[in-house]
Amino acid sequence: MGDIKLCRMDIDDIPEIMVIENLSFAVPWSAESFITEVQNNRAARYVVAKDTDKVIGYGGMWIILDESHITNIAVHPDYRGKGIGNLILKAMIEMAKQENIIAMTLEVRRTNYIAQRLYEKYGFVSVGIRPKYYEDNNEDAIIMWKNNV
């Protein structure tokens, strides 16, 4: 693994993001969804992690007034367990701070303990459940918030 670089997502990153998306999620977003996010959604902020020039992970959020909603974070399976998710989440929190965000939220699968521990490490706490949130298996989502960003 070379030097990991974090930068804003652009259209050219989407083919590699789609590989990660399809390997990471039972119900992946479409390439068109990412294109719309990058080109047309003024609330969207996306960051990619690159090893040399290869996209190895990404994260996205929507800025809504003074809050941020994390939409997705994923790391290529070959790079998991190497701290890439930490780097992405840390960059997203810094981006939120620069935009004067005071709170961040997200949903995470009840069984995704690795992601839950990552979010807790950065000050997110569980505040509720969205029953049957995930359409692939009706799994509940845990709602997490981080205040005082």
Point out the residues that are catalytic: 107, 119
Rounded to the nearest 10 degrees, what angle do helices 84-98 and 113-121 cross at?
A: 50
Give the pairing of strands 103-109 and 67-75.
Answer: parallel
CB atoms inside a 10 Å sphere around CB 87: 19
Angle between helices 14-24 and 31-40 (to 10 degrees): 130
Cα–Cα distance measured from residue 140 to residue 32, given in angstroms and rounded to the nearest whole number? 27
